């Protein structure tokens, strides 16, 4: 159909931020322009972020500075989800030790909780969120309180966070430090849990949203958990290689090089006699091996996104259910050597 694009099937985009819209303080090339096109085709937009270090208003202001469309209520954060979880589990006025940002503390106060600074205040619960300046003493207070009987909620457990200079430790790394001291796991409020996505869709009144993210273990898993269609964009943490190897729960429905792919027809993936084809690239799986037949345009052995899509389709059909990541061998037909478990990033 003329004018058919990926977005024709959806009424909203629920977009992650870090690795999708920006890396550190800078916009990812083309991302702002792509987001600006959504309103013109009648597709709504919300930002769903696990970053609990800033208020939604601050996040929206930063997005507007970058040129992206963003009202304050279009930003749904894990800090909000964490505060809502506290409100479900504890009466108003309960004492909460906030290990994280001022923004997180504000969300906790907004649901009627009393923020305390130390384990000596006998908090009812600890809520932990990302804050770049967080130090050992704050993590120690969390451990003292939890070992003293306080409940523990983490806004999110992202192990890493993309920055302008590269990949840095995320909230999950700091949560792991506390976990080592207390010997138990927190209740997690944000991605990959489903409520964050349901909240965003409800705000928009969307019935057919598309979740767009760069991380399989948070964005894609969370969108899948929420029963929504998911698209992995290859501008952040995860790659074609990690998508190929992903366990079933973390496999995306779509794979895009960047946000511009939302406005393009998504190539059909067909299968004939066990061979999966996408955009002229072909792949099939036998045993633990994927064989790839590249088109004439890829005679140098470079694996583009269509080849990656074909490989994923072939491998996921061969291994439809797996609770752990896989590691198939990959053979490029007519080329040597065999590349085991390696797919070039698009």
Residues annotated as part of the active site: 16, 18
Supply the DSSP symbol for 55: -
C-alpha to C-alpha distance for 53 and 109, rounded to whole angstroms: 15
195-204 helix and 78-89 helix, angle to the nearest 10 degrees? 110
Exposure of 243 in the CB half-sphere (CA atoms within 13 A): 35
C-alpha to C-alpha distance for 318 and 205, rounded to whole angstroms: 37
Q: What are phi and psi of 168, to 5 degrees?
A: -120, 160
Residue count of the chain: 346
* Widest Cα–Cα separation across the chain: 69
C-alpha to C-alpha distance for 230 and 222, rounded to whole angstroms: 9
C-alpha to C-alpha distance for 54 and 193, rounded to whole angstroms: 20
CB 78 within 8 A of CB 189: yes
Instruction: Name residue, tokens 């279009």.
Output: 74
Return the structure tokens found at 64: 């507007």
């Amino acid at each position: 159909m003329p004018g058919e694009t990926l977005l024709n099937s959806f009424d909203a985009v629920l977009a992650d931020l870090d690795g999708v819209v920006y890396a550190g303080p800078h916009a990812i090339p083309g991302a702002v322009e792509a987001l600006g096109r959504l309103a013109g085709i009648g597709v709504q937009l919300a930002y769903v972020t696990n970053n609990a270090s800033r208020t939604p208003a601050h996040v929206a202001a930063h997005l507007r500075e970058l040129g992206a469309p963003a009202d304050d209520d279009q930003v749904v954060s894990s800090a909000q989800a964490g505060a809502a979880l506290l409100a479900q589990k504890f009466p108003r006025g309960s004492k909460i030790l906030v290990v994280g940002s001022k923004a997180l503390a504000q969300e906790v106060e907004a649901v009627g909780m009393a923020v305390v600074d130390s384990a000596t205040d006998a908090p009812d619960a600890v809520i932990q969120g990302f804050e770049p300046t967080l130090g050992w003493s704050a993590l120690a207070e969390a451990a003292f309180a939890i070992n003293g009987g306080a409940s523990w909620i983490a806004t999110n457990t992202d192990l890493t966070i993309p920055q302008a200079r590269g990949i840095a430790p995320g909230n999950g790394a700091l949560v792991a430090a506390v976990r080592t001291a207390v010997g138990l796991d927190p209740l997690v409020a944000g991605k990959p849990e489903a409520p964050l996505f349901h909240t965003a869709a409800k705000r928009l009144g969307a019935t057919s949203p598309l979740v767009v993210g760069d991380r399989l273990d948070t964005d894609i898993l969370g969108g899948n958990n929420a029963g929504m269609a998911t698209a992995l964009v290859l501008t952040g943490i995860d790659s074609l290689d990690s998508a190929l190897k992903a366990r079933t729960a973390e496999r995306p429905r779509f794979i895009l090089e960047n946000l511009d792919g939302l406005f393009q027809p998504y190539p059909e993936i067909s299968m004939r006699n066990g061979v999966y084809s996408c955009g002229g690239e072909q792949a099939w799986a036998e045993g633990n091996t994927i064989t790839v037949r590249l088109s004439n345009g890829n005679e140098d052995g470079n694996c583009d996104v269509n080849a990656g899509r074909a490989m994923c389709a072939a491998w996921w059909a061969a291994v439809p259910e797996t609770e752990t990541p896989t590691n198939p061998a990959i053979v490029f037909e007519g080329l040597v050597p065999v590349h085991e478990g390696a797919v070039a990033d698009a």
